Structure 1
Amino acid sequence: MPANLLILGGTTEAYDLAERLAGREDWHVINSLAGRTANPRLPAGETRIGGFGGVEGLALYLGECAIRAVIDVTHPFAARMGWNAAEACRLAGVPLLRLERPAWRPGPGDVWEPVETWAEAAEALRRTQARRVLLAVGRQELTHFAGIENIWFLIRLVTPPEPKPNFPAAEWLYSRGPFALDDERALLDTWAIDTLVCKNSGGEATSAKLIAAHERGIRVVMLQRPARPAEVPTAATVDEALTWIDNVFPACTATR
Structure 2
Amino acid sequence: MNLLQTKSLTVSIAGKPICNELSVEMQRGECWTILGGNGAGKTTLLHTFAGLRTADEGQIDFADKLLEHWPRKLLSQKLGLLLQDSNDIFPSTVLETVMIGRHPHLKFWEMESQSDFDIARQALADVSLEDVQDRQVNTLSGGERRRLAIATLLVQNPELFLLDEPTNHLDMRYQITLLEMLIRKAKEQDGCICMVLHDANLARRYSTHIMLMISPDDIVTGKVDDVLTEENLARLYQFPIKSVETESGRVFLPGTL
TM interval, short-chain normalised: under 0.3
More strand by share: 2
More helix by share: 2
Highest Rg: 1 or 2? 1
Normalised by the length of structure 2, the TM-score is 0.25
Comparing both chains, which one has the higher relative contact order based on Cα–Cα distances under 8 Å and sequence gaps of 6 or more? 2
